[in-house]
């Protein structure tokens, strides 16, 4: 660990986007002022993307510098720490029992995520400069977007769980602001509220988990917790009570992750979050924010590894979510909804991997998913832009001739998502499935569901490609004239397409006889968890034959279902209509994400509404308002009777005074 003062530059990684956000906000206010005199004035808002992109580029440059600095160190010493000040110290200052520093830590894990956030973030910022052009809130959008990046960087760089929570809430807030960016339309505001409220359930779990950790370890410092787990909490010496507390803490923290990372049972907000502008969906609801749950679990990997029950639960939740998300994406007509459910499903894969102890594999899938899902979202945005805000794929078709660049890059993203051989998604997904297969026991069942979901993934991905870019042109030619998006939007697509295709080199499987880059890079971070898992059940590596078989199976499933999905829909949307006619029950069930959302409406939202209704009309209007208004009315009535005494006649006042004086005198005389 190096001298912490010399690492103060670390602070500029999150601070640059914060400064950018403040500047963009100022530009927005200046624009609003200019609009007072001229409603169509653009003001200074055209400078906002420049400011925001410059801030992102600066943050990316610093992130790269941090990465280079880290690489120069020995693997076990790869930590850069910058402590700024003591935030909270309670108790004896020499030996406080609660002590939180404001500090940033750059280690292999946070470095990886910082690179993804700033790198993909920069591309999305550039894209957004083109996508949001002409919007009334152009500068405001970049202010929110930069603020989000700031919060996200705080989340991954903070050294303590409390700092993580600050970022955790910050990204939640920015997600809320950006989902509801077009709040005038009505439904985006509702979607934003839904996202916020659903996340609150998870955040409460996060807090409870943090408190449990504080009670167990007396600290919220992440490195300290990991160290104490390694030193004091050996599985063979641990007592049952502590084990239970550890499991509970892990369980609650996982609950927090379920909220943020859209897992069962809290995933319903993510598809609705597509009400936000498409760059937001790409940045927040695909590439970065929704992966913070994965980050948290990898960060505290020894805690989770010490509780096999919770690990199995994580895998079970992950694979179930993957299945629900994947099957729902099969029948969606809205292109962004397909991608949203696909994101839910892919996040499920990551949790499946985490539950098997394949922490590095989960991060690998996180990184490749950030590339290809951001690419697909941006591509979808480009399509929506070119189609004049049309999102229904049944009203698209044949766009490959009109939007060749978007089409080519979208193909790359689709290939990666569906796991076509040698694409980035192929390697990361198969690594997770291989780890699942290797874990044995109940994990065989998870593996089968995982493969099934992979088949669905390939199917719906290529269904989407076929419906959008192939077949007959089903849109109204009089009103819609599809056109390629400007270079500002297509260049980021190309960069992301390159990353989606080549991202696999970060983690080639052992059978290729080359080093797994990400595995080696993250080894110092995930080693404590691995050590605890190894104590549980010794981990045997898969034989090369089995691995080849698994890889081959993965390729075959992906190719076969990609082919089926593609060819079923190149003619048009006939197959969808046939399904709806043939099995309306199944189609409806899938279309509504296994009717989980409507179940929530029925079981949670409606009773709460009823409760609120009762409280409003009975308790508030009847009891409380009754008390307040009643006392006011009583005072008024009494005053109305008494006011007659004040007649304005001097004599009557004198009479009352005299009478009063006489009464008092009499009272004195007789008492």
Binding residues for other proteins, rule: CB under 8 A, are 643-651, 654-655, 658
Distance from C-alpha of 381 to C-alpha of 406, rounded to nearest angstrom: 10
Q: Could you give phi then psi for residue 106, rounded to 5 degrees?
A: -115, 115
Instruction: Report d(CA 414, CA 389) in Å as an integer.
Output: 21
The secondary structure of 176-192 as a DSSP string is HHHHGGGGGGSHHHHHH
CB 246 within 8 A of CB 307: yes
CA atoms within 13 A on the CB side of 606: 7
Residue 99 sits at φ, ψ, to 5 deg, of -150, 120
CA 612/CA 618 separation, integer angstroms: 10
Dihedral in degrees, nearest 10, Cα atoms 299, 300, 302, 307: -130
Report CA Rg, the chain.
30
d(Cα 275, Cα 189) in Å, to the nearest integer?
A: 9
CA proximity to 306, closest of 366, 226, 362: 226
- Taking 3-state DSSP, the helix, strand and coil percentages for the chain, each rounded to the nearest 5, stand at 75, 5, 20
Give the distance, in angstroms, between the CA of residue 34 and the centroid of all CA atoms in the same chain.
35
Whole-Å CA distances, 586 to 68, 120, 369, 455, 579: 52, 37, 29, 18, 8
Instruction: State the DSSP H helix or E strand holding residue 659, giving kind and residue range, or none if neither.
Output: helix 650-670
State the Cα–Cα distance between residues 389 and 116, nearest whole angstrom.
Answer: 29
* Cα pseudo-dihedral 119, 123, 126, 130, rounded to 10: -160
Closest CA to 433 of 356, 372, 505: 356
Nearest to 62 by CA among 13, 98, 127: 13
List all residues 6 or more positions away from 126 whose beta carbon is below 8 Å from its beta carbon. Answer: 49, 53, 488, 491, 492
Backbone angles phi, psi at 236, to 5 degrees: -80, -20
């Amino acid at each position: 660990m190096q001298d912490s003062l010399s690492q103060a530059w670390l602070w500029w990684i999150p601070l640059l986007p914060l400064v950018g956000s403040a500047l963009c906000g100022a530009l927005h206010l200046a624009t609003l002022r200019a609009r007072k005199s001229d409603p169509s004035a653009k003001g200074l808002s055209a400078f906002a993307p420049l400011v925001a992109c410059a801030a992102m580029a600066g943050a990316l440059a610093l992130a790269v510098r941090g990465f280079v600095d880290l690489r120069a160190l020995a693997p076990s010493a790869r930590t850069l720490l910058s402590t700024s000040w003591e935030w909270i110290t309670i108790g004896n200052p020499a030996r406080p029992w609660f002590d939180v520093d404001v500090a940033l830590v750059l280690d292999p894990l946070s470095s990886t995520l910082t690179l993804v956030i700033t790198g993909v973030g920069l591309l999305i910022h550039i894209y957004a400069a083109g996508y949001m052009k002409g919007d009334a809130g152009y500068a405001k959008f970049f202010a929110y977007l930069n603020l989000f990046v700031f919060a996200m960087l705080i989340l991954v760089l903070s050294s303590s769980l409390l700092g993580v929570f600050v970022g955790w809430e910050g990204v939640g807030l920015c997600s809320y602001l950006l989902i509801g960016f077009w709040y005038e339309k009505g439904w985006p505001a509702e979607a934003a509220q839904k996202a916020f409220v659903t996340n609150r359930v998870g955040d409460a779990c996060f807090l409870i988990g943090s408190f449990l950790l504080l009670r167990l370890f007396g600290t919220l410092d992440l490195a300290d917790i990991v160290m104490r787990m390694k030193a004091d909490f050996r599985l063979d010496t641990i007592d049952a009570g502590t084990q239970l507390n550890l499991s509970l803490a892990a369980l609650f923290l996982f609950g927090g992750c379920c909220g943020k990372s859209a897992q069962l049972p809290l995933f319903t907000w993510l598809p609705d979050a597509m009400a936000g502008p498409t760059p937001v969906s790409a940045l927040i609801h695909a590439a970065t924010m929704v992966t913070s749950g994965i980050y948290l679990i990898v960060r505290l990997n020894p805690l989770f590894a010490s509780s096999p029950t919770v690990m199995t639960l994580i895998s079970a939740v992950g694979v179930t979510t993957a299945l629900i998300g994947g099957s729902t994406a099969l029948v969606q007509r809205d292109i962004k909804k397909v991608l949203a459910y696909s994101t839910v499903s892919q996040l499920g894969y990551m949790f499946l991997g985490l539950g098997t102890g394949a922490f590095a594999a989960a991060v690998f899938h996180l990184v490749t998913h950030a590339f290809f899902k951001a690419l697909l979202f941006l591509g979808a945005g480009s399509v929506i832009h070119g189609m004049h805000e049309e999102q229904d794929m049944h009203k698209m078709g044949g766009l490959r001739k009109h939007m060749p660049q978007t089409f080519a890059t979208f193909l790359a993203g689709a290939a990666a998502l569906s796991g076509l051989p040698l694409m980035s998604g192929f390697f990361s997904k198969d690594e997770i499935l291989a780890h699942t297969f290797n874990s044995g026991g109940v994990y065989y069942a998870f593996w089968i569901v995982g493969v099934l979901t992979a088949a669905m993934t390939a199917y719906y991905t290529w269904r989407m490609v076929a419906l959008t870019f192939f077949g007959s042109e089903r849109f109204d030619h009089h009103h819609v004239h599809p056109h390629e998006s400007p270079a500002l939007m297509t260049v980021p697509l190309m960069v992301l397409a390159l990353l989606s295709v080549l991202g696999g080199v970060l983690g080639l499987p052992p059978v290729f006889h080359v080093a797994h880059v990400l595995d080696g890079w993250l080894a110092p971070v995930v080693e404590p968890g691995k050590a605890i898992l190894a104590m549980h059940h010794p981990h045997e590596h898969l034989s090369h034959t089995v691995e080849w078989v698994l890889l081959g199976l993965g390729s075959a499933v992906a190719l076969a279902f990609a082919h089926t999905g593609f060819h079923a829909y190149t003619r048009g949307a006939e197959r969808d209509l046939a399904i709806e006619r043939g099995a309306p029950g199944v189609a409806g069930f899938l279309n509504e994400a296994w009717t989980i959302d409507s179940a929530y409406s029925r079981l949670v939202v409606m009773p709460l509404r009823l409760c609120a209704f009762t409280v409003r009309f009975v308790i508030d209007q009847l009891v409380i308002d009754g008390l307040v208004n009643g006392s006011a009315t009583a005072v008024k009535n009494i005053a109305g009777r008494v006011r007659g005494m004040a007649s304005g006649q001097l004599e009557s006042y004198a009479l009352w005074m005299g009478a009063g004086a006489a009464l008092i005198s009499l009272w004195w005389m007789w008492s």
